[in-house]
Structure formats: structure tokens, C-alpha cells
A and B are shown apart, each in its own frame.
Chain A
Amino acid sequence: MVNYIWVFMTIVGFVFAMINGTMEEVNKAIFDGAKEAVTLCIGLISILVFWLGMMRIAQESGLLDLLSKLFRPFVKRIFPEVPTNHPAMGYILSNMIANMFGLGNAATPLGIKAMEELKQLNGGKNSASRSMVTFLAINTASITIIPTTVIAIRMNYNSASPTEIVVPTLIATIISMLGAVMIDRYFYNRRSRKG
């Protein structure tokens, strides 16, 4: 899908430039866009290095594990079909915590592990179980505690207060998380009524 959107924007841009006579601007845009992207990534290095460094300390000191213990009772209620001490629960929790702290790279393998365990719980079938749908819903609406990349971009473009969006983001993300859980429940109830 992203392939089509990408090609669409570029080609439509060229066609429009031909009609509108904006070819000169478009030629400039190609090089400006590329340059902008690289400058932006260089600007991101600072905050990514700092944040992932901090997170490594949190990980090695066991702070992230402690957090996942804290969230366990809450998560247990969202996944009634997963036994409390099943490894799936552990992976689900670690994945959520990693997502919360913006550790996308660490979250993905944990999420796949969680899916594997959930698949086994479901008897290895190739259809999605209730818990799998729930897990996906939660993941796509993942709670973000600190949106580091966004803060870095805002700093790059000289925001008067790059971090002012932290609390609004947190509120929005909690609402979308609750929404995800409720929508998931709704569809589950609808499925079970149909039998």
C-alpha cells in the first residue's frame, strides 16, 4: 500500500508540474526533500542516542520488569483467556512496556514471541484467536509515555517548547488504548453471540 501512495505522490506531482508549469520548483524539490530528510535524521541522532542509553539502564536495572509486574493485574483482565503464569503473558507485558518507552525495535521481537505463544494456546490453528485480536488492537493503539522522535523533530524546527506535547500525547494515547479495548470487546461479544 505504501508503495502505491509513494509512487502516486511523485507521479501526480510531475504531471501537475507539467500542467501548472511548476517544473522548476519540482526539480528543486527533489534535492531539497532529500537534503531535508538527511538533516532531520542527523538531528534525531542526539535524542535517540540519549533516550536509548537511558532505556538500557532501565532495562539492566530491572526497572522495566518491575513495571511489567505493576501492569500485570490490569493486563490479566484484558486477556481473560491467557493463564496468569503462561509465558505469553510475560511477552505481552514486555512488549507493551517496550512500546510505552518508545523502544520499537525491542518491542517487535517480543510481540512476535507473544504471538507464537498465543498461537500455541490456540492449538496452533492458522486463524486469529480472541487474545490475538486483542493483542493486536492494543499494539496498534500503543500507549506512548514519551514520544522521543516527535520531541526531537520539534527541537529541530526551533519549537519554543518541544516537550509541551508530552501530556496531550499521553492523554490521547490512553483514550485510544481504552477505545481499542472497548472496540475489541464489542466485536468479541458480537462474534460469540453469532456463535
Chain B
Amino acid sequence: MEFLSLISLGFIPVLIGFILLYGTIKQIPTYESFVEGGKEGIKIAVSIIPFLVGMLVAITVFRASGALEALMNWIRPVMEAIGVPAEIIPLIIIRPISGTAALGMTSDLIAVYGPDSFIGRLASVLQGSTDTTFYVLTVYFGAVGIKKMGDALKVGLLADVVGIIAAIVVVVLVFGAQ
């Protein structure tokens, strides 16, 4: 799986190089566009501060009190039987519900277990590979006034399950278990 990391490594420089060259060929003021777009990045980073503060305080309190450990011990036997670390369960539960909450959990898992641990890698891939079904459902259907959702919720959540299983399998195959 060495070559996969190699692709991962070369992917971003190639993409950036391509964007820059394409912009230059199309005679876009590349640097000025970059700066304009970048300003939006500051806004986004600052605007997620309250979300993350709220979530990380709740998570750290939950952990420091010993409640998280109790929960983990309770579900660990079941989870380990299917080869999933129990630590990842809170993230799996919250991922379809709130994007920023999941982001908080992911960063907490990475901080506690290390970015290059099995749990850290699994959290990274999970965070990147599924989206917040409930949020998308509420916002998109709410905005245009759809009252009857049909199979939308079922389909969305089942797709999340597929995504979660895919993330676990891919991480185990690429980086090895635990």
C-alpha cells in the first residue's frame, strides 16, 4: 500500500499546480482571486469557533467525569466482536446529525489518540467520507417547503451506514488494523 501514500502525497501539489496554470492560461488575475477567496476562509474559520467551543467543552466534560469511559466499557465487547474500536462510536452517532459536532469529536479523537493511530486515521477518514444527512435534509427540504420526505431519510441514513463501513474497511486494508 506504499504507492497509495505516494499518490496521496503527490495529489495536492499536482492539483494546485494545475489550478494555477489553468488560471494563468485563462488570464485570470490569479493572485488577486486567491486573496479574495482566502478572505472567505478567515470568515469560515472564525464562524465555527462557537460551535467547536460548545461541542468540545461538552465532550471534555463527558470524558473527564469518567462517563465516556463507562459508556465505552459498556459497548466495548459488542464493538470489538465486529472489529470496530468502541472509541469511534460517538463520532459515528453524531456524524449524520451535525457537521460541526462531528468535527469537534474528530479533533478530540485525533488529539487524544494521535493522528497516526488507528483511531485517529479512522476518525479522519470517517469525517471526510460521509456528510450530515439530517442537516442536508432539513435545510434543503425546509427551504423549498417539502413536507413529505418519502424515502429520503431512510436512503440517506443507509448511505451513511455504507459510508461508515467503507471507511472502516478501507482504513483497515490501507493502514492495517489497530
Contacts and interface: CB of A to CB of B under 8 A. Distances in A.
A16 B67 contact: yes
A56 B140 contact: no
B81 interface: no
Contacts of A184: 151, 155, 159
B160 to A, nearest CB: 7
**By DSSP majority rule, is chain A's interface helix, strand, loop, or mixed?**
helix
B169 to A, nearest CB: 8
B7 to A, nearest CB: 5
Interface residues of B, number: 107
Most buried by B among A15, A119, A139, A191: A139
Nearest to B71: A12
Given A57-B34, A128-B146, A165-B8, 13 more contacts: A2-B97, A9-B59, A13-B58, A25-B65, A29-B57, A128-B141, A132-B141, A140-B130, A140-B137, A167-B174, A175-B162, A175-B163, A184-B159
9 contacts: A16-B66, A28-B64, A33-B57, A54-B16, A60-B23, A137-B159, A150-B127, A165-B8, A179-B159
Interface of A: 1-2, 5-6, 9-10, 12-17, 20, 22, 25-26, 28-30, 32-34, 36-38, 40-42, 44-45, 48-63, 99, 104-105, 108, 111-112, 115-116, 119, 126-128, 132-133, 135-137, 139-142, 144-147, 149-150, 153-154, 156-169, 171-173, 175-176, 179-180, 183-184, 187-188, 191
